[in-house]
Amino acid sequence: MNQDVPQIGRSLNLLFWVLTVVALIFLGIGYLLHRMNIEIPTPFGSLRAWGILLLLLSVILGVALPVLLRTLFNKRVVEEKHVELVLFVAHQKRLVVVSVSAAYAACIAYLLMVPNLYLYGSVLAGLYGIYSAIPSERKLKGELRFYGLGGK
């Protein structure tokens, strides 16, 4: 199984970087719109309501949902006393997608120019989501070993 670690790592890294670069492009577009003084109106409701909604969405996607997904995956593995490598890789990809998605909610908050409190909270949750999703070979080897997929 140890020969699979670099391949899994490359796959997760590719997914992570594609999602992160798209989020950065989205943020760059927002920056350019702000520099050209182009405001994006909210579809409905106030900016404060959108700020609260996007802050909650960022925190849920960047912090709460990844913890819940890990907990449910661990519970499932404990109950079944076995995990397939394919299921583990799918779980890792799901964690990367969900965690990095928090940055997209923060980008929307930036585009809409929500009040600063909600914007900064969304950005912090988005950054945490990106940070927690960074796939490293050391972390991957530890988790593979934890689930009995990594050999020694």
Q: Which residues are CB-contacts of 129 (< 8 A; sequence separation ≥ 6)?
A: 58, 61, 62, 63, 66, 98, 99, 100, 101, 102, 103
Domain positions in the chain: 4-146
Q: What is the pLDDT of residue 90?
A: 94
Q: What is the pLDDT of residue 93?
A: 95
pLDDT greater than 90 at residue 2 = no
Count the Cβ atoms, other than its own, within 10 Å of residue 89.
Answer: 17
pLDDT greater than 80 at residue 152 = no
Question: Residue 66 to residues 1, 27, 114, 129: CA-CA distances in angstroms?
Answer: 25, 23, 25, 9
Confirm if 129 and 101 have CB atoms less than 8 A apart.
yes
pLDDT tens per residue, range 65-124 = 999 999 999 999 888 888 888 899 999 999 999 999 999 999 999 999 899 999 999 999
Q: At what angle do helices 137-146 and 4-35 cross, to 10 degrees?
A: 130
pLDDT tens per residue, range 20-51 = 999 999 999 989 988 898 888 777 888 899 99
Distance CA 103, CA 24 (A): 9
